[in-house]
Amino acid sequence: MGPWRFVVWFGTVSLLADFVYEGARSVTGPLLASLGASALVVGLVTGAGEAAALGLRLVSGPLADRTRRFWGLAIAGYALTVLSVPLLGVVGVLWAACALVIAERVGKAVRSPAKDTLLSHATAATGRGRGFAVHEAMDQVGALIGPLVVAGVLAVTGGDYGPALGVLAVPGVAVLGLLLWLRARVPDPEAYERALTPSAPAAADEVRLPSAFWTYAAFTAATTAGFATFGVLSYHLVVRHLVATAWVPVLYAAAMVVDAIAALATGWLYDRIGARVLVVLPLLAAVVPALAFTDTVALVVAGSLVWGAAMGVQESTLRATVADLVQSGRRATAYGVFAGVVGAASVVGGTLTGALYGSSIPLLIAVVVAIQIAALVLLATLRTRLS
């Protein structure tokens, strides 16, 4: 199987997985609110979920490098996610729903360093930016379908979360079947990269992560600390009665379309101008709260779409840059450490926006803009090290 076919098939796995968990995430805020959660709880849980999805990679990344069991960890992580989501719709109590939201994100933590490393080997042949961008765009096809399916079931059932989330078990089964097939077809994706650089990669314990990696992680952490979660955005939509609950996943789906377009655009630019393209990320993140936390529906929709564009950059071009900064033998560790740093910033961002939302929206907007200005300054100081 050629490298582009591997990228596309792995993209299909991610498409189906996103069908499952993005379908669930599109209604996380309203679901938790229906069980009695406040804005602070929603912000804390969604932020903690992202922190778990990212921070626990500090363990799963080095584990993947040392054991070289990339396929096994990827399959185990996907399994945890696709089992957690259908249960989310039937537990009926706030603490259990919060635990399952976080458990779904833990599944992402288990699989992601291994998955990104497998993908990075193929993108060495296709172009890092383009390969990761195509993978992310396919992600977003699933992220579009999942919320729309959830919205349709909610509309038909009068807002019953049980069947809306239970239907997501079907693509979940397909995820696991396709992963097992792909592992049988391509047991050693590193062969794609070895064909380009025949010298053997350094062992995981022989190479330190480069200093440029750490400065890059610092910039990403800064911009992520000022980035609102969709849980808080959707909470705002529902509690301010701006849209009906069934329309929230539709808006999320639209944001995922923008995510895919932004990923493809910045991935293409990354292969041409390098990490300089990342300047757009703080700019997008700064605009989100100024639009999304108003009481004008058109502005809130626009803010949600800008949120989707920022997510597209985060989920594709940021990952491509890590692969170019770190050698193969330490790449899963780098993805884990990078995600851990960003995870700490995510819990800050989710908690910060949730807390400030409950006290002062103008203050929330001002704080986020200030953080993103600081991130731009940091990026400017790091530009020569990232070039």
CATH number at residue 110: 1.20.1250.20
pLDDT digits (tens, 9 = 90+) for 331-352: 888 888 887 887 778 778 878 8
Indicate the pLDDT class of residue 386, thresholds 50, 70 and 90. low
CB-based contacts of 26: which residues, under 8 Å, 6+ apart? Answer: 146, 147, 150, 151, 230, 234, 248, 249, 252, 253
Is residue 245 a part of any domain in this protein? yes
> Does residue 57 have a pLDDT over 90?
no
pLDDT digits (tens, 9 = 90+) for 111-124: 989 999 999 999 98
**Listed residue (31, 364, 36, 68) closest to 228, CA to CA:** 364
pLDDT digits (tens, 9 = 90+) for 288-301: 888 988 888 889 88
Two structure tokens written together for 347: 């819990």
For residues 238 and 30, the answer to whether their CB atoms sit within 8 Å is yes
For residues 311 and 259, the answer to whether their CB atoms sit within 8 Å is yes
Indicate the pLDDT class of residue 205, thresholds 50, 70 and 90. very low
> Does residue 284 have a pLDDT over 80?
yes
Q: Residue 204: its pLDDT value, please?
A: 47
Q: Residue 200: its pLDDT value, please?
A: 46
pLDDT digits (tens, 9 = 90+) for 143-153: 788 888 988 89
Q: Residue 359: its pLDDT value, please?
A: 83
Residues 241-262 have a mean pLDDT of 82
Two structure tokens written together for 68: 């070289």
DSSP conformation class of 199:
S
pTM confidence score: 0.74
> Does residue 203 have a pLDDT over 60?
no
Q: Residue 199: its pLDDT value, please?
A: 54
Cα–Cα distance, 128 to 188 (Å, whole number): 19
Q: Residue 76: its pLDDT value, please?
A: 94
Report how far apart, in Å, the C-alpha atoms of 129 and of each of 201, 264, 303, 334 are: 22, 8, 26, 18
Residues 183-187 have a mean pLDDT of 92
Indicate the pLDDT class of residue 385, thresholds 50, 70 and 90. low
Count of domains observed in the chain: 1
DSSP E strands, the chain: none
Residues 127-155 have a mean pLDDT of 86
For residues 29 and 153, the answer to whether their CB atoms sit within 8 Å is no
Two structure tokens written together for 179: 């992963």
Residues 357-374 have a mean pLDDT of 88
Is residue 198 a part of any domain in this protein? no
pLDDT digits (tens, 9 = 90+) for 21-41: 888 887 888 888 888 888 788
Two structure tokens written together for 78: 């996907």
Is residue 190 a part of any domain in this protein? no
Is residue 272 a part of any domain in this protein? yes
CB atoms within 10 A of CB 135: 29
Cα–Cα distance, 359 to 351 (Å, whole number): 13
For residues 117 and 332, the answer to whether their CB atoms sit within 8 Å is yes
Name which residue leads in pLDDT, 91 or 386. 91
Cα–Cα distance, 182 to 176 (Å, whole number): 10
Cα–Cα distance, 40 to 122 (Å, whole number): 41
For the chain, the residue count is 387
For residues 81 and 107, the answer to whether their CB atoms sit within 8 Å is yes
| Phi, psi of 119, rounded to the nearest 5 degrees | -70, -35
Two structure tokens written together for 184: 């049988």
For residues 76 and 18, the answer to whether their CB atoms sit within 8 Å is no
Give the chain's mean pLDDT. Answer: 85
Q: How many percent of the chain have pLDDT more than 70? A: 96
Residues 201-226 have a mean pLDDT of 75
CB-based contacts of 77: which residues, under 8 Å, 6+ apart? Answer: 60, 107, 108, 109, 110, 111, 112, 114, 115
Q: Residue 71: its pLDDT value, please?
A: 94
DSSP conformation class of 4:
H
DSSP conformation class of 208:
P
CB-based contacts of 96: which residues, under 8 Å, 6+ apart? Answer: none
Is residue 215 a part of any domain in this protein? yes
Indicate the pLDDT class of residue 72, thresholds 50, 70 and 90. very high
Residues 182-208 have a mean pLDDT of 73
Domain range for 7 is: 3-184+204-386
Name which residue leads in pLDDT, 328 or 263. 263
Is residue 360 a part of any domain in this protein? yes
Is residue 189 a part of any domain in this protein? no
> Does residue 183 have a pLDDT over 60?
yes
